[in-house]
């Protein structure tokens, strides 16, 4: 689906339509069409979270009955586009398919598309030098050569990956070593890079690694990693991933990687490092020398050009650095809680048995359903099995249950009668934890509503003649059987029952048989 929200967000930041197209993985025509349609409908960023891409598609381009006539490609446009570097028939067909979808028109299959434009295809493509503006773009990549760390305990040699970030205009570089190239290292490197530069460039050209791009089905169909996209949104920059095996998409960082391998990695080849901290300290010293070296074919150095012409144009850093988040999926259980790292967090009860997405950071747990945030909690640490429960997430009957405690149950029972009070007090003290008895007390409350307070009092009196610790179930059985006052119309039986109060006696009549 077209990223309508991302297109409108980047447009509000002042990006050109070409850069928005690169970042959002759509054609420039689509960007122009979305922006113009949004202006017609007075839709602008920021948007409400409920306005998802699917909702925006229905607002901007409502569905129309499809036509059976297949749309023919624009041959003049295709001849012109095929002369551009990197443009292929497959890419143009993808754009053509997307245009047909937006206009609800019947497209040609790829083989038919190629057949119609076969005479217009050009095999040779021209290249051009693109002049970069100060503060506009930063390129990032992992260097091919590794640094080495010696394990002080085992003597094992461990390879350390080198992250390189370069401002395109000034070639001012940032370098840092990491033990691996996983997501945490990739994001941490960007956070440290922006702090080192003291600002944020408008465009971030990244390598095509898995920590940056997922679902890579070709340059045009690649999708930015969710966490990487969140980081870009936090810093207000746009990500334009480089194409696979296309070093010319990020020539500055590719050239700087070679220089850094010579002036930093190779310069440290004879030194021994026993920790990542020691290695990065030495790299930082060499990096300062590298950025201060004078250019051979122009005046100044990387740092002087950066400070004078580029840094003033960088966007300011956000108030807080980006916090790395991990995404997980969970199912809401019948107790309206989800389990995350063996801790339990409540979710509104209407989502019971639904699958939700969970964003986990060091401090917070955020729960999303169909890309909409439905709740959040402070993250729990320590003993497994702890609960974080929000009362508003509970069903209404469960919320009412929480309003009761031991004192309130006793006051309620006292208003009914002394026997009911004795039964409730006995039940409340029958368990080690008082809260375990609340369900039984609540059951007695329901019996009073069903059978009347008078009958409940009589049933409690009857139950106390059998045992000093009657249960909810025994009182309920008395009320169901209607035996809460069985001696009212049978005085003889009552007298006999009194005689049997202290044991089982057969009487004289038994032995006369």
- What tokens does 195 get? 């702090």
Give me the helices (H) in 315-437, please.
396-402, 406-416, 418-428
- What tokens does 265 get? 């990695």
Tell me the pLDDT of the chain (513 aa) as tens digits: 688 888 998 988 888 888 888 888 888 888 998 999 888 888 888 888 888 888 888 888 876 444 456 788 887 788 778 777 778 888 888 888 888 888 888 888 888 888 877 755 544 444 444 566 888 889 888 887 788 899 888 889 999 999 999 998 888 999 999 999 888 899 999 999 999 999 999 999 887 777 776 654 454 555 777 788 888 899 999 888 765 545 555 555 555 666 776 777 777 878 889 999 999 999 999 899 989 989 887 888 999 999 998 999 999 999 988 888 788 899 999 889 999 999 999 999 999 999 999 999 888 999 999 989 999 999 998 888 888 988 889 888 777 666 678 888 999 999 999 999 999 999 999 888 787 788 889 889 889 988 999 999 999 999 999 999 999 999 999 999 887 665 444 444 444 444 444 444 555 555 555
Alpha-carbon gap, residue 315 to 200, rounded angstroms: 5
Checking DSSP bridges between strand 223-224 and strand 173-178, what pairing results, if any?
unpaired
Give the torsion sign (CA, 262, 251, 174, 212).
negative
Find out whether 71 and 107 touch, Cβ atoms under 8 Å. Answer: yes
Whether this model's pTM surpasses 0.75: no
- What tokens does 57 get? 């598609």
Angle (deg, nearest 10), helices 438-451 and 406-416: 30
Reference 177, options 147, 207, 145, 218; nearest CA is 147
Q: Concatenated DSSP letters for 122-169?
A: -------PPPPPTTSEEEEEE-SSPEEEE-TTT--EEEEEEEEEEETT
**Burial code of 449-458, b = ≥16 C-beta within 10 A, e = fewer?**
eebebebbbb
The C-alpha torsion from 372 through 377 and 380 to 386, rounded to 10°, is -100
Helix, strand or coil, per DSSP, at residue 286: helix
Domains of the chain, each with CATH number or no CATH: 4-120 (no CATH), 137-313 (3.30.420.10), 326-399 (no CATH), 404-499 (no CATH)
Is residue 302 classed exposed, middle or buried when 0-12, 13-18 and 19+ CB atoms within 10 A define those classes? buried
Find out whether 150 and 273 touch, Cβ atoms under 8 Å. Answer: yes
Is residue 157 classed exposed, middle or buried when 0-12, 13-18 and 19+ CB atoms within 10 A define those classes? exposed
Find out whether 118 and 93 touch, Cβ atoms under 8 Å. Answer: no
């Amino acid at each position: 689906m077209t990223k309508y929200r991302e297109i409108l967000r980047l447009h509000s930041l002042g990006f050109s339509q070409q850069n928005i197209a690169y970042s959002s993985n759509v054609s420039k025509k689509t960007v122009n069409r979305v922006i113009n349609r949004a202006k017609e409908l007075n839709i602008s960023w920021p948007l409400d979270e409920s306005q998802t891409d699917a909702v925006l598609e229905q607002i901007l381009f409502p569905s129309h009955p499809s036509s059976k006539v297949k749309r023919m490609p624009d041959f003049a446009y295709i001849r012109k586009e095929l002369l551009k570097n990197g443009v292929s028939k497959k890419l143009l067909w993808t754009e053509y398919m997307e245009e047909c979808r937006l206009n609800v028109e019947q497209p040609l299959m790829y083989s038919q598309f190629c057949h119609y434009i076969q005479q217009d295809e050009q095999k040779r493509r021209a290249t051009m030098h693109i002049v970069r503006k100060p503060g506009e773009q930063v390129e990032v990549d992992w260097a091919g050569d590794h640094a080495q760390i010696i394990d002080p305990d085992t003597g094992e040699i461990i390879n350390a990956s080198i992250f390189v970030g370069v401002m395109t205009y000034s070639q001012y570089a940032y370098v840092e070593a990491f033990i691996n190239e996983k997501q945490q290292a990739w994001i941490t490197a960007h956070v440290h890079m922006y702090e080192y530069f003291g600002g944020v460039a408008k465009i971030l050209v990244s390598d095509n690694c898995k920590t940056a791009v997922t679902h890579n089905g070709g340059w045009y169909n690649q999708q930015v990693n969710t966490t990487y996209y969140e980081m870009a949104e936090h810093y207000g920059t746009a990500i334009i991933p480089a194409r696979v095996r296309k070093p010319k998409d990020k020539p500055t960082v590719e050239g700087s990687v070679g220089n850094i391998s010579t002036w930093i990695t190779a310069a440290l080849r004879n030194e021994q490092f026993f920790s990542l901290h020691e290695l990065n300290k030495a790299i930082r010293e060499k990096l300062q020398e590298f950025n201060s070296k004078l250019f051979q074919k122009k005046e100044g150095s990387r740092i002087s050009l950066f400070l004078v012409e580029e840094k003033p144009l960088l966007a300011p850093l956000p108030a807080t650095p980006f916090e790395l988040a991990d995404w997980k999926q969970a199912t809401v259980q019948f107790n309206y809680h989800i389990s995350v790292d063996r801790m339990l967090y409540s979710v509104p009860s209407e989502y019971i048995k639904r699958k939700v997405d969970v964003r986990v950071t060091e401090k917070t747990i955020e729960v999303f359903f169909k890309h909409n945030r439905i709740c959040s909690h402070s993250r729990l640490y320590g003993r497994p099995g702890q609960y974080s429960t929000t009362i508003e997430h509970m069903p209404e009957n469960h919320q009412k249950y929480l309003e009761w405690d031991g004192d309130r149950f006793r006051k309620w029972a006292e208003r009914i009668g002394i026997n009911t009070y004795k039964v409730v007090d006995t039940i409340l003290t029958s368990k080690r934890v008082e809260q375990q008895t609340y369900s039984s007390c609540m059951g007695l409350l329901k019996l009073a509503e069903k059978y009347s307070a008078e009958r409940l009092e009589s049933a409690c009196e009857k139950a106390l003649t059998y045992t000093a610790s009657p249960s909810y179930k025994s009182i309920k059985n008395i009320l169901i059987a209607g035996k809460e006052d069985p001696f009212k119309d049978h005085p003889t039986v009552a007298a006999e029952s009194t005689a049997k109060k202290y044991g089982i006696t057969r009487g004289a009549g038994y032995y006369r048989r």
